[in-house]
Structure 1
Amino acid sequence: MGENSSPPDPVRSFSRLAVIVQLMMLAVVSAGWAISDGTAVAAAGTATAATAAVASVTTPPMGWASWNTFAAQINYNVIKAQTDAMVSSGMKDAGYQYVNIDEGWWQGTRDSAGNITVDTAEWPGGMKAIADYIHSKGLKAGIYTDAGRDGCGYYYPTGRPAAPGSGSEGHYDQDFLQFSRWGFDFVKVDWCGGNAEGLNSRNAYQAISDAITRASAQTGRPMVLSVCNWGNQSPWDWAPSMSTMWRTSGDIIYWGQSASMDRVLANFDSAQHPAAQSPGHYNDPDMLIVGMTGFSAAQNRTHMSLWALSGAPLLAGNKLTDMSADTKAILTNREVLAIDQDPLGGQGVKVAEDQTGRQVYSKVLSGTGRRAVLLLNRTTSAASITARWSDLGLTGSATVRNPWTGTDAGTFSGGYTTTVPAREAVLLTVTSGGGTSSPSPTPTPTPTASGTGAIRGVGSGRCLDVSGSSQANGAQAQIWDCNGQANQQWTSTASGELRVYGGKCLDVNNAGTADGTSVIIWDCNGQANQQWRLNSDGTITAVGANKCLDVPNNATANGTKLAIWSCNGGSNQRWTRS
């Protein structure tokens, strides 16, 4: 359970650099898997041998999860019906494997020995019975818990009474062994209790991963570990060494809401950590909302295209028993699924943005000269967007194909241009007869241009900080002695956000434009007052107001609250990434 801005005009050399980085990263990963003794190269974000009992997949997990449609209102019959529908709909044949039981199956009860107990009126035969039924259909079974003492059902009761004790803290070895003995192949571990208790994410999930390894050693059943701490404490930096997938943001939809393209884009942006991803280890922008209330078929295709381009896990969240023909066709399109499931395991990266909001993403696919290309129009009007072969690292002419329609658009020299509707995307595959190019060396982007880390004020020497380490909407941005804590770790996204805690964005209060307007954090929403341009001179421009992030009056004291001000190039408006 559990979230703005126009980036700078792209420099062509940056797009070439993105291609080089992606090619190098994938080359290293591929080389690692080719070593005869089976040991992968320890590239950034790749797994170590210690994860063997956890990471039992080599392509992004595909399946269905109960939360988005049913919340906590689940039981044996609900899960059985969805399992049957996964088979009868053709989703199983298309590659969907996992049926994941999310929050609500357990109300925190244990027997005298500390073993989890469930309501057998709702789960006749207990949890082993439903896992056995899922297996009987040739599918795999997933289950859910929390890293803390009290799970999300205690803090956010949704469809059931508050359930104290529904987390696994203090019972890691016992619970994960029990899950494995029941027959579960996948476990999602949420963070509501861990967050409330102020646990250290890395330490907690390492302990969980170690418990799964010990359980698998006893049962012989490896389990996929899904880390679900909503991007807090930068899981892309540490989760690849201990898990199969890790959430990079808050929930894509909250119970009772309609689908939102703003939320889809925000979650897509938060998952842009390509160096962390490799076969068996995936950035997770959350479950799919394809086929849920509020989206047209075109919006569903855009959403699915974004996840496929990212190489993200594909866990459907709609009600499988009554989905439309359009929804079924979108979820089971074999060419789109092949992009997501490409064995190189890489993540697509942005390679061009000739005009603000008109973006080109490229994903290197297996085979010679093959790319998946996404043309994304974030603006409110239809726009022509061009994919240039040079930006994709390709030479010569190339054949363009639309995987949604299964048709070739033709063979083109230099690039391909098409019109993309407002707030939608066009997904393509591009295959070059001329192979790949080696773009000339380019300058490294400025320290403030991208990445995750502290942002230090040039004039003050202190870091961009959230007052009191608060995660509440409206908490003030300030400067403070640099300390490396989570409230000073900022991620710049492809859409120009500056994110902290995974789901909060640096925000100009009330979309103000006047000098002195305060700067706060707020749930990421894609609006212009959450969009920031990171400039080569070290200034950071609030796009909506066209003013600079400023330390008022050139102050240097801890706790000085930040504002926007007319840009003047002063040291109190210049920042560096550290």
Structure 2
Amino acid sequence: MNWRRAGRLAAAVVIAAGIVSSPGAAAAASNNVVTKPPMGWASWNTFAAKINYSVIKGQVDALVSAGLKDAGYQYVNIDEGWWQGTRDASGAITVDAADWPGGMAAIADYIHGKGLKAGIYTDAGRDGCGYYYPTGRPAAPGSGSEGHYDQDFLQFSRWGFDFVKVDWCGGNAEGLNPQSTYQAISDSVARASAQTGRPMILSICSWGNGSPWNWAPGMSTMWRTSQDIIYYGESASMDRVLTNFDSAQHPAAQSAGHYNDPDMLIVGMPSFTAAQNRTHMGLWAISGAPLLAGNNLATMSAETRAILSNREVIAIDQDSLGRQGTKVTEDATGLQVYSKTLSGTGKRAVLLLNRTTAAANITARFGSLGLTGSVAVRDPWTATDRGTFTTGYTASVPAKSAVLVTVSGTEGPRTAPIVGKQSGRCLDINNFSRANGTQAQLWDCNSQGNQAWAYTSGKQLMVYGDKCLDANNQGTVNGTAAVIWDCNGQANQQWNVNSNGTITGVQSGLCLDAYGAATANGTKIVLWACGAGDNQRWTLT
């Protein structure tokens, strides 16, 4: 959560499904296997800090009666506002009995009694978000867990909570180091789980501070990659949805059990249309992100309920491979195609995203998805088949909207990045250009389609499924530009991938070379006489 703006407190905790744990093992929290992105509901978006037993009970009952439990929503997340920072003489957390009759164990028991799981919330610092940004309750000094990590996480586990989300308001104000702080928290959560025998999954909420995608997968189930998707008192915004979606694009960090978290869903919040709700849900599904509803479940419309509970869209999000969808093409600025590999041969989820202010046709070319032959296309929102196509699928996409489909075909040549040994950067086509003659370059590896190369049986290095790496104008001299061109089978588009790491042109005999032995983003790729330099050594998996 980021409180530089009118502050909404961090999304409360969610509970992980499919936990596998050895009760007595003092393993790291990340060793508790969560097989799918958590799905559930969190209290903040609708109720802010104004929560109590009755509010949570009402939402639990509505989640079940609306059919969301049957659709896979398991987690009831109690967000900020449950605690005002009070402790007893021994340092144990105390709560207002008028708000929480029977204490926090009672509400956890009620949640469990409905066949759901319970989550709770705290802060990494001494004072939590409820101190720095009180919203609906007085400022709450001492509402963080710093100095009480072992005591608090053990108490949460003994109360019956299955998951804890730890916010960053205090950590940020105190200038704590995100990585080392959350490592200490992760270790403490593991100790609590080992002592009680109840696995308790950690969700990191540093708002992307410290680049958690680089280290959080080793210590948590999910990690926030961004600031808040909505701030208290604001209306829902598609621009904010897209910003948070973009911030979560770290596919190398994500795998089954470990997820980039772009924040809670705002599906069904006031001012969002059905089309916006579907676009938002589709973006999270293609990402394999946690699905944590934040609307008022007791008053939501039948339309919102249908969007949140769509089984085929949920199945995309919950696919067992745990992959994050990545951008594979952008033929024109703002007209993007994302592809997510699904379990099963030749299966993909595809999202056509129009970021512009006017409706436009967007085409998903099957070659760029790694598919060949006839491909069947299905609309998961309407559960209808769109037909079978051979080269690609085109849809008209309204402004600031997305079309989500699933496709099934035959697997084509496998794609992989080509990584320079000297630079550590990837062979890249700038800005997803498809223009013949665009010169290849080095760029930071990002798993996107303009860095996904297939080495075919015809010795072609193919990108986008139909463009080949080409020695420009059939050049055979030092400095010849390595460009992309329509694949044509000619010798200047054929390459030998050699055991010593070089890639040589069949026609020229020259090596693929990072010009001038440079390693910076944007370094141009040329052909040059083969030598011993690492700027001519590449890894193609």
Question: What TM-score, normalized to structure 2?
Answer: 0.74
- Taking the TM superposition and a 5 Å limit, the aligned residue runs for 1:520-559 are none
1:251 to 224, 228, 237: 228
Displacement of 1:122 in angstroms is: 0.3
Task: State the partner residue of 1:428.
Answer: 405
Whether the aligned pair in 2 keeps the contact of 1:448 and 1:576 (CA below 8 Å) is no
- Taking the TM superposition and a 5 Å limit, the aligned residue runs for 1:406-445 are 406-432=383-409, 434-438=410-414, 445=426
Displacement of 1:52 in angstroms is: 5.0
Amino acid at match of 1:438: R
Displacement of 1:362 in angstroms is: 0.1
Displacement of 1:447 in angstroms is: 8.7
Task: State the partner residue of 1:381.
Answer: 358
Task: State the partner residue of 2:218.
Answer: 241
Amino acid at match of 2:209: N
Question: What TM-score, normalized to structure 1?
Answer: 0.69
Task: State the partner residue of 1:191.
Answer: 168
Task: State the partner residue of 1:335.
Answer: 312
Task: State the partner residue of 2:39.
Answer: 62
Q: Distance in 1 between matches of 2:320 and 2:428?
A: 32
> Aligned pair 1:90/2:67, yes or no?
yes
- Taking the TM superposition and a 5 Å limit, the aligned residue runs for 1:320-399 are 320-399=297-376
**Once superposed, which parts of structure 1, at least 4 consecutive aligned residues long, lie more than 2 Å away?**
49-56, 434-450, 490-494, 574-578
Task: State the partner residue of 2:2.
Answer: 2
Structure with bigger RCO (C-alpha 8 Å, 6+ apart): 1
Displacement of 1:51 in angstroms is: 3.5
Q: Deviations for 1:17-71, whole angstroms, at most 9, x for unmatched residues?
A: xxxxxxxxxxxxxxxxxxxxx9xxxxxxxxxx94356644210000000011111
> Aligned pair 1:146/2:123, yes or no?
yes
For these two proteins, the number of residue pairs brought into alignment is 418
Structure 1 gaps of 5+ residues are 4-37, 39-48, 451-489, 495-535, 537-573
Q: Deviations for 1:194-220, whole angstroms, at most 9, x for unmatched residues?
A: 000000001111111101110011111
Structure 2 gaps of 5+ residues are 4-20, 420-424, 432-443, 449-480, 482-518, 524-541
Q: Residues 493, 367 of structure 1: CA spacing in aligned structure 2 closer, same or farther, 3 A cutoff?
A: closer
> Aligned pair 1:301/2:278, yes or no?
yes
Considering only aligned residues, what root-mean-square deviation do their CA atoms show, in Å? 2.6
Q: Deviations for 1:95-115, whole angstroms, at most 9, x for unmatched residues?
A: 000000000000000000000
> Aligned pair 1:231/2:235, yes or no?
no
Q: Residues 390, 491 of structure 1: CA spacing in aligned structure 2 closer, same or farther, 3 A cutoff?
A: closer
Whether the aligned pair in 2 keeps the contact of 1:448 and 1:577 (CA below 8 Å) is no
Per the alignment, in what secondary structure is the counterpart of residue 74 of structure 1?
Answer: coil
2:134 to 137, 151, 157: 157
Q: Deviations for 1:77-112, whole angstroms, at most 9, x for unmatched residues?
A: 000000001100000000000000000000000000
Task: State the partner residue of 2:111.
Answer: 134
1:123 to 97, 100, 105: 100
Amino acid at match of 2:300: M
Displacement of 1:283 in angstroms is: 0.1
Q: Distance in 1 between matches of 2:49 and 2:138?
A: 10
Whether the aligned pair in 2 keeps the contact of 1:55 and 1:225 (CA below 8 Å) is no
Per the alignment, in what secondary structure is the counterpart of residue 386 of structure 2?
Answer: strand
Q: Deviations for 1:299-352, whole angstroms, at most 9, x for unmatched residues?
A: 000000000000000000000000001100000000000000000000000000
Whether the aligned pair in 1 keeps the contact of 2:29 and 2:220 (CA below 8 Å) is no
Q: Distance in 2 between matches of 1:156 and 1:256?
A: 13
Q: Distance in 1 between matches of 2:341 and 2:389?
A: 19
Q: Residues 441, 101 of structure 1: CA spacing in aligned structure 2 closer, same or farther, 3 A cutoff?
A: closer
Q: Residues 493, 349 of structure 1: CA spacing in aligned structure 2 closer, same or farther, 3 A cutoff?
A: closer
Q: Distance in 2 between matches of 1:266 and 1:165?
A: 32
Q: Residues 230, 196 of structure 1: CA spacing in aligned structure 2 closer, same or farther, 3 A cutoff?
A: same
Displacement of 1:449 in angstroms is: 7.0
Task: State the partner residue of 1:109.
Answer: 86
Q: Residues 448, 359 of structure 1: CA spacing in aligned structure 2 closer, same or farther, 3 A cutoff?
A: closer
Identity across matched positions, percent: 74
Point out the structure with max Rg over C-alpha: 2
Displacement of 1:226 in angstroms is: 0.8
